[in-house]
Structure 1
Amino acid sequence: MSLPRLDFPTLFYNAAKWPLPGKVLLGCGLAGLVLLIGEAAYLSSSRERLHGFEVREQTLQQQLAEKAELTSSLEARTDQFRAMEDKVTGLLRQLPGQSEVPALLEDIARLAIANGVWVEGITVLDEEPRQLYIEQPMQIGVTGGYHDLAAFVGALGGLPRVVTVQDVALGHDGALLRLNMLAKTYRRTTQSAKAREAFDPAQPLVYTPSFVRDPFQAPGLQVTRVPGRPALAPDLARPRGLLEGMNIDQFKMVGTLSLGAQAFALLRAGSRVHRLTIGDYLGPDHGQVTAIQEGSIHLVERFPDEQGGWLERPRTLVLNVNS
């Protein structure tokens, strides 16, 4: 048995005579066929382009949000940049237009005298140009007691000009300590016709040896130091004694001696023992003995300050229990 062949031309020719449901079914079929062909030919590529536009839209919206946030903080960032620019300009104005090395050497010598240290040598090295300034390095070697050296280095940071200290090396030099360091001062790269404006320098670190132990001495040999206070100038025309040419840290108290009502302190420096009484002088800072006790000797030292005046400070040498 064979199925009858479907004659499509005859079928469509007679479609006008079909009942209404058949016509509707045929119309839906033709419409679906047209939609499938249109989808394949046109709509698929358009839909892909639409998806690409949607992704791009999301990216642009994200960038817009980021730029809007940046714009909202632009004024604050501008104020911050201007403040930083003014600060850099102010720092550059603090730098001198010339090297001013002679004046700096005078300041270093003055600070050394004020703090009781000896300047062994200063070597001025070649200048090192930078982008905004020029460095002037100097190799400095000083000798003195631990607290004196610390106070000297701290005083360098309080100078009106900018001075930094680097490559610090500390070692023994007999009974004293020797400090070698690289100090740098700075100046502007170009000469400015505008005078330097007044500025408020940063608060320098002031070294106060009170209650600070010298790590290079045993606890029983510590020297008590306190900051100086204003005082009258000493008699600079007075002949200086032999013991005033030696650093006070070179002396060790080894005992006391009494002759009647007069008390003497016995101080040893190297292999020699010296005898002092109240009123005698000791050390380079016009140190005068004010009191002698069994376990200590008390002095008052006078030294110049940074303003041309004089300061005084008490100093105590304790008995060397190992003597």
Structure 2
Amino acid sequence: MNDLLDRILGLPRQQKIGVLAGLIIALLALDYFFLYAPQSLKSAQLAQNIESGQQERDKKRKLAANLPKLEQQQKELDGMLKLAVAQLPERKEIPDLLSSVSSKAREAGLEILIFRPRGENLQEFYAEIPVDIVVRGGFHELVTFFDEVGRLNRLVNMQNIEMRNPKVQGERVSLDASTLATTYRFLDEGERKRAAADRAKAAKAKR
């Protein structure tokens, strides 16, 4: 070490300055790599963690702000579901419901020509129960019948209404009206599983 210092001290002035400048640069480089660079990396990681934390905090704040709205929407959906369930008859209620529909026709003054239930059509969560109906009577009686069916506390959908064969009987015109009346019921868990299996089997058969 002393020999090195002696050599440096024995150098001309310009060379001494160059050697000292090189030493200073080397020391600064060592300081950077061993002191500043690790701290800089830690600072960058810390800044990234802070930014991620702020983003997560903002996300949770937004969710918290929307929570009352989401809860209200959930309540509304629950209410709509309960209303829908209340309008759909249970399996045991179907015969009485169909009897009510035919009674509404007679009470309106119509003659029932056809009242023929079809087989159930199973969907994912419910079953459709269609009934072919053909009645005869005046236009006013027909309108009364359709209106009364629409007022039932159970859902009955009247589709494909057709009126034909007008006949004059005294001072009134008699018509034959046909319609497909469809009511619905929710499937229980076992029925839903069977319906899903049937759909999967039918889809596989089409391949």
| CA-CA distance at 1:100 after TM superposition | 3.3
| CA-CA distance at 1:132 after TM superposition | 4.6
Aligned twin of 1:34 = 27
Rounded Cα–Cα distance in structure 1 between residues aligned with 2:156 and 2:66: 38
Larger strand proportion of the pair? 1
In the alignment, does 2:157 pair up with 1:164?
A: yes
Distance 1:31 1:122, change over 3 A: farther
Aligned twin of 1:173 = 165
Q: Which has the higher contact order (CA 8 A, sep 6+)?
A: 2
| CA-CA distance at 1:57 after TM superposition | 3.5
In the alignment, does 2:119 pair up with 1:126?
A: yes
| CA-CA distance at 1:184 after TM superposition | 2.0
Counting only pairs closer than 5 Å after superposition, residues 15-94 of structure 1 correspond to structure 2 as: 30-36=23-29, 39=32, 47=40, 50-51=43-44, 53-89=46-82, 91-94=84-87
Structure 1 regions of 5+ residues with no counterpart?
A: 1-7, 191-323
| CA-CA distance at 1:39 after TM superposition | 4.2
Counting only pairs closer than 5 Å after superposition, residues 160-309 of structure 1 correspond to structure 2 as: 160-166=153-159, 168-175=160-167, 177-190=175-188
Contact 1:98 1:187 in 2 (8 A): yes
Distance 1:90 1:105, change over 3 A: closer
Letter in 2 for 1:64: R
Contact 1:99 1:186 in 2 (8 A): no
Larger helix proportion of the pair? 2
Structure with the greater alpha carbon radius of gyration:
1
SS in 2 for 1:73: helix
Q: What does the per-residue CA deviation read over 1:18-42, in whole Å, with 9 as the maximum and x for residues that have no partner? A: 7xxx88x976653333323554688
Rounded Cα–Cα distance in structure 2 between residues aligned with 1:49 and 1:178: 87
User: Normalized against structure 1, the TM-score is what?
Assistant: 0.42
Distance 1:162 1:50, change over 3 A: same
Q: What does the per-residue CA deviation read over 1:114-151, in whole Å, with 9 as the maximum and x for residues that have no partner? A: 43444331221112344554432212223445554333
Residue number among 82, 106, 109 corresponding to 1:113 in the alignment: 106
Structure 2 regions of 5+ residues with no counterpart?
A: 168-173, 189-207
Distance 1:178 1:63, change over 3 A: farther
Distance 1:105 1:89, change over 3 A: closer
- RMSD (CA atoms): 4.0
Contact 1:99 1:187 in 2 (8 A): no
| CA-CA distance at 1:70 after TM superposition | 0.7
Distance 1:171 1:46, change over 3 A: farther
Aligned twin of 2:199 = none
Aligned twin of 1:12 = 8
